[in-house]
Structures are given as structure tokens and as C-alpha cells.
Copies of this chain bind each other. A is one copy, B any other.
Amino acid sequence: MEVDIGNALGTQPGLTEETLDRLDDRVADADDRIARGMADDEFGYASLNLPETADPAAIRAAVEPFDEPEAVLTVGIGGSALGAATLADALESDVDAYFLDNVDPDAVDALLASLPLEEVVVNVVSRSGTTAETLANFLVVREAMADAGVDWTERTLVTTGESGNLRRLAETHDLPALDVPEGVPGRFSVLSTVGLAVAALQGHDVEAVLAGGRDGMASLAGSLRESPAYAYGATTYALAERGALTNAFMPYSESLETFAEWFAQLWAESLGKDGLGQTPARALGATDQHSQLQLYRAGPADKLVTLVRPRERADSRIPETDLEGLSYLGGSSLGDLLDAEFAATEASLAAADVPNVRVEIDRVDERALGELLYGMEAACVLYGELASVSTFTQPAVEWGKKAARGLLGGGDFPEAEAVADKREFRID
């Protein structure tokens, strides 16, 4: 992973070389704090040890009973789905991967009706075993399998905590089961059983993903000038402090579209607290040049743009043409066009004084993805240290969970009563 922050200097908001020098003292202190947390396997910091603590042999053993499935259906939500989905959507495989990460009845029914359930591995993921959306979907999936004459106990893999509903279920029915790692919040779990079991089922090289994670570990250092991950974390933090409250995150590769969603969870849920944080706005290059770029260049000066791309990829020639005014395209390639759009967008933002940061990887493969995912996690942890927020918790979502549970008759919660007090002002 390589980071170029040149276009965050002298922009509006923007940094100077002197800012970076002052910031770098704090980066050194934060790096110390992070290193101590990692050494002690503290809650959250333990995530940054996963490239060394994850056990690929256990993952391989758990998926081994499901020899060459046609597809994998993961039932999980948030951090229980996004890491696995990022790898699945970035890497090609003959084994399709699907995710039930919402409780929209139409979508759930349509997906289940389209799958050959007797050839599918169901991968249910919930640390607590009580996540309402995940367990509701799992109950629906289990019934659909029964209706299709499929023995769900032969086709189900469980990834969960040491105890709870799903753990007991796995024990009762002797299901293959993987442990959610201790001290690792869901959004930091991609380099563990939670993110890697699907990759293993799809035939991807899980060892290489972890090796990439170790590349990321090795590149942490006490200075933002020496560590791409810390350069990204410190730059985004300093820009946010100066008013860049939105981070438009724009990969120039369709295979990295889900990576932008994973990043959005990591960034929003880790850093959005105490009135601080930076809103991730997911975008996609080059498509969103025709949708969002007008705003990024000419709208409020409250954002930075992160441009992500692989340096190498397969390419496709554009045929020669006699269409008027288009001869310049002929003989060029779609890759050339995409690269030109990338460079043009980057320069066009700089020319409008909009801060932007370039993140590059060599190519979209297991190892580079492992490094990229690790790098963004380390960047996020550094940002959290610099902002003094509680990076690894998500207290603000509890209110709504209680309200929803109360509304469904799952207990007495004052939050559910607040729903009835809504102030209405309807126009129809």
C-alpha cells in the first residue's frame, strides 16, 4: 500500500509541511500507545495482531467438510458480513458468495428462491448469537432448507462466541464451528475467522491475505513519513480537525466497491463519537465523476476525497472507429481511459483546492488486499488515538436496538415508548 498526501498540502482545508512536523510528534506517541495495546492484546488493539494470531488451519478444517460447494450464503450483518463480502467481491471465484445482511422480506425471499439450497453452504455469523436481524434470517433460511428437503445440519457453518445460542446449536447438532476472536470488534474482524471463512470456501489463498496483513504490520512506524497507514490516518484526522468532515472514498475499480462499504463502517462506527468523526461518502470511479464530482469540486469546503486504485490490472482494447471526434479513443484501452480519468479527477480536485489523498496497491489480489485492509484499520486506530475517542466501541447504537426489541415485544424498554411520542408534521 502506498499513500500520497501531496494533494492535501495547501488546499482548503489543507495542511502544511510544518503541520505535518507538529503532528508527527503526536503520531509517535500514538504509535507507542498502539504498540503497548498490541503487546497486551488489549480490547480492540488485539485486532492489529490478527495477521499473527489468526489460525488458517482452523479455518481450513472448519470448511473442509463442505467440499466444493456451489455457493456460500453468509447470514450476518455489519462487521459480520462486510469483511467477507469485501474479499468475495474483490477476488474471482467459481464459488458464488451471497450475503443476507438485511431483513427486507422481498429480498430475502427472492434470494432464497434463486439458490440451489442443497448445494449451498450457510455461514451464520454472530458473536452474541442474539443479533435480531441475523437470527431472524437464519430461522427463515433453516425453514427454507427444510422445505427444500435439505438437512440444514449438513450444510451449516457457525462462527460465534464461546457461549450463547449459536454455540449451543453447533454443539447440539455437531456443526462445524469457528470462534470469533476475543478482543476484536466486528468491524476489525476481516483478518479473522469472521472474514476469512468465506474466502476459504471460495478457494482463495487465506495465508496470502494474512501475509499481506503482516506486510501492513511491518510498515507501522513512529512517524507518518515512514508508515503509509499512519500517513493516511494522521492526514485524514488533521483535515477533519480543519473542517473536512466528509471523506469521499472513491476506488477506481469495481472490484473494490464493497471495500468502500467496509471502509465506511470502519470509519463511521469507530470515529463517529463525542461530536467528532468524519462521514464516509462511498463513491466509485469513474462512474461518480458523472454524479458527485460537481459537488466535490464546487460545493462546501468540508470534504476530502480519497482516490484508491490498483496500479496493475487486466485490460481491454478499444476498437478503432470512424465515429467522428472519437478517433482518439480507438487503439487506446479501457484501462488507459480509466487511468486518464483518475489522473484528471485528482488534478481537477487539486486545481479547485479540494484536498485529496491517493491510495494505491499493486494489484487486486489476496496479499495486496490483506495489506490494504490492515492499513486502513491501523489508520483508523491512529485517527482514534489522535482524536482521543473510544475507537472500539459503538455505544450510540444501543438505544435503537432496545427500542426495536421493545416494539417487537421482546421486553420492557423505555426507548420503545419514546417511539410513540414522535412529533408529527405530515404533508401529503
Determine if A299 and B279 form an interchain contact, defined as CB atoms under 8 angstroms apart: yes
In the complex, the answer to whether B318 meets A139 with C-beta atoms within 8 Å is: yes
Indicate which residue in B82, B226, B300, B336 contacts A408 across the interface (CB closer than 8 Å): B336
Which chain B residues lie closer than 8 Å to A108 at the CB level?
316, 334
Instruction: Name A404's closest neighbour in chain B (CB-CB).
Output: B344
Interface check A107, CB cutoff 8 A: yes
Assess the B428–A3 pair: CB atoms within 8 A.
yes
Copies of this chain per assembly: 2
A294-337, CB < 8 A from B:
294-303, 313-316, 318-319, 321, 323-326, 328-330, 332-337
Question: Which of chain B's residues have a CB closer than 8 A to the CB of A168?
Answer: 324
Contact (Cβ within 8 A) B395 A298: yes
Nearest CB on B from A412, distance (A): 12
- Contact: A6 with B344, CB < 8 Å? no
Contact A419 B343 (CB under 8 A): yes
Chain B residue contacts of A7, Cβ below 8 A: 422-423
Q: Is A190 an interface residue (CB 8 A)?
A: no
Chain B contacts of A403 at CB under 8 A?
340, 343-344, 347-348
Q: A426-B2, A426-B4 are in contact. Are A330 and B300 (CB under 8 A)?
A: no
The CA-CA distance from A275 to B303 in the complex, in Å, is 12
A233 CB, min distance to chain B CBs, angstroms: 11
Beta-carbon contact of B299 and A346 below 8 Å: no
Report the separation of the CA atoms of residues A411 and B326 in the bound assembly, to the nearest whole angstrom: 11
Assess whether A427 is in contact with B231, with CB atoms less than 8 Å apart: yes
| Residues in B neighbouring A425, C-beta threshold 8 A | 4-6, 8-9
Known: A82-B291, A287-B102. A422 touches B350 (CB 8 A): yes
Picked from B253, B298, B319, B336, the residue with its CB within 8 Å of the CB of A139 is B319
Q: Are A275 and B291 in contact (CB under 8 A)?
A: no
- Given A102-B284, A246-B279, A397-B293: A423 and B226 interface contact (C-beta under 8 Å): no
A242-272 Cβ-contact flags toward B at 8 Å (1 or 0):
0001101000111100000100110011011
> Which residues of the partner chain B approach A78 to less than 8 Å between Cβ atoms?
287, 290-291
Contact mask A386-422 → B, CB, 8 Å, 1/0?
0000000011110111011101111100011011001
Q: Is B279 a contact partner of A140 (Cβ separation < 8 A)?
A: no
Name A269's contact: one of B294, B330, B335, B396 (CB within 8 Å).
B294
Set of chain B residues within 8 Å of A284, measured between Cβ atoms: 102
Chain B residues within 8 Å of A248, by CB: 279
**Known A9-B425, A403-B348, A425-B5; contact A330-B105, beta-carbon cutoff 8 A:** no
**B325 & A109 in contact (Cβ 8 Å cutoff):** no
A165 within 8 A of B: yes
Q: Provide a sorted-by-A list of 15 A–B residue pairs whose CB atoms are within 8 angstroms.
A: A5-B427, A77-B287, A139-B323, A143-B319, A276-B300, A279-B300, A294-B394, A294-B395, A328-B410, A328-B411, A344-B407, A345-B400, A347-B403, A348-B403, A352-B396
